[in-house]
Amino acid sequence: MDLLNTLVDKGLRREPLSRAEALAVLGTSDDDLLDVVAAAGKVRRHWFGRRVKLNYLVNLKSGLCPEDCSYCSQRLGSTAGILKYTWLKPDEASKAAAAGLAGGAKRVCLVASGRGPTDRDVDRVAGTIKAIKEENEGVEVCACLGLLSDGQAERLREAGADAYNHNLNTSESTYGEITTTHTYADRVDTVQKAHAAGLSACSGLIAGMGETDEDLVDVVFSLRELDPDSVPVNFLIPFEGTPLAKEWNLTPQRCLRILAMVRFVCPDVEVRIAGGREVHLRTMQPLALHLANSIFLGDYLTSEGQAGKADLEMIADAGFEVEGADQVTLPEHRAAGGGCGSHESAGCGTHEGGGGCGSHDSGGGCGSHEGGGVCGSAAAAATSSSTATPQTGEARTDLVAVRRRGAGTDLAPNA
């Protein structure tokens, strides 16, 4: 396909895709799926080789959240039978993290439910970061605590945090249909605060909430403007007891196309397969490793994941290797602070106070929704995809299991 050759060339040169090209990836047929995976795989291997970075989640505080995010089992009004507990002590969190690190994880992600941390909460998390880093030399720590107030990102960095996660989740135009207790702009502001404080920004999306192809492209292009170092791609886990419990909109093939689109749009960024890969990719998970260079090991926040041993076997069997603690995840130009890397001639804007791709003040830059050439096949496919209804996947409630081990319990974690 001429389209795929064009996208590979752009990915290797870090040139921005147009919206029509991104839509065309989502509009490809199942007959072309392996060609799409192979093409995006060339871009993935160019920037990240055959390495797979392992990340491990520690849920510091589960449930009891005042926000009404429709996808979340911890939301206000959720009747999902999840674990509910208040803050873990630093030694408890460090013990939980140790299990994931022993399994090969390179980064620990410390997550807490809630709208955002109080200053006292930041102090708690700072103590947890210190405890983890004292026990594990070289470990990366990412915090995910909700909306940040002024100065909190700086305090987390001073405490030793390396990164901060806050996902955009869906397009700006549909965000109000998913959440009403905060805004899309609030989320963007928190990612910018983390970036400005010198933390590695981590921000991604959730697919499968009934969104259109255009919504998916919108949010990924918005992410490209924000210039995070890592983009986690979550596939909705339809928990019983949440408003989206009946949303089974994904097939393994659609998940692979979404991951390929993200890789083409963000060629040199750490693309992470996050929650829901076991539920929706199922036996096609190994193919997804040709698109993403990062996964979570073991369980998630409130749901069980694939056994850690099975994750490691899958990586080896697919011909990949676990990224070592001594290896740098990002390509040299990004690790040195070069930004998301639109090609130098592409007119990439900068964030205030540092390098990065896609100015929020200008209409241009590599994150612009406008501009960019479109080859004929891309334009045709994009036109057809704009009116297409995604194929609905079969409900697999048997694959949705509430986490009953690890943090907040007396049982050993899955790592």
Would you name the residues annotated as active-site residues? 65, 69, 72, 109, 142, 202, 272
CA dist 311 → 99, 104, 276, 278 (Å): 15, 11, 14, 10
Q: Are 181 and 66 in contact (CB under 8 A)?
A: yes
Q: Are 174 and 215 in contact (CB under 8 A)?
A: yes
Cα gap 402→414, rounded to integer Å = 13
Cα gap 360→226, rounded to integer Å = 8
Q: Are 187 and 116 in contact (CB under 8 A)?
A: no
Q: Are 386 and 227 in contact (CB under 8 A)?
A: no
DSSP, collapsed to helix, strand or coil, labels residue 202 as strand
Q: Are 224 and 358 in contact (CB under 8 A)?
A: yes
* Cα atoms found within 13 Å of the Cα of residue 306, Cβ hemisphere only: 23
Q: Are 92 and 70 in contact (CB under 8 A)?
A: no
Q: What token pair was written down for 271?
A: 């693309």
Q: What angle do CA 66, 402, 231 make, to 5 degrees?
A: 70
Cβ contacts of residue 414 below 8 Å, gap of 6+? Answer: 298, 299, 304, 305, 307, 308, 405, 406
Q: What token pair was written down for 119?
A: 């200053």
Bridge partners, 141 (sequence order): 108
Q: What token pair was written down for 247?
A: 């949303």
Q: Is the dihedral of CA 65, 185, 188, 247 positive or negative?
A: positive
Q: What angle do CA 93, 149, 202 make, to 5 degrees?
A: 60
Q: Please name which of 109, 88, 107, 101 lies closest in space to residue 135, comparing C-alpha atoms.
A: 101
| Biggest alpha carbon–alpha carbon distance for the chain | 59
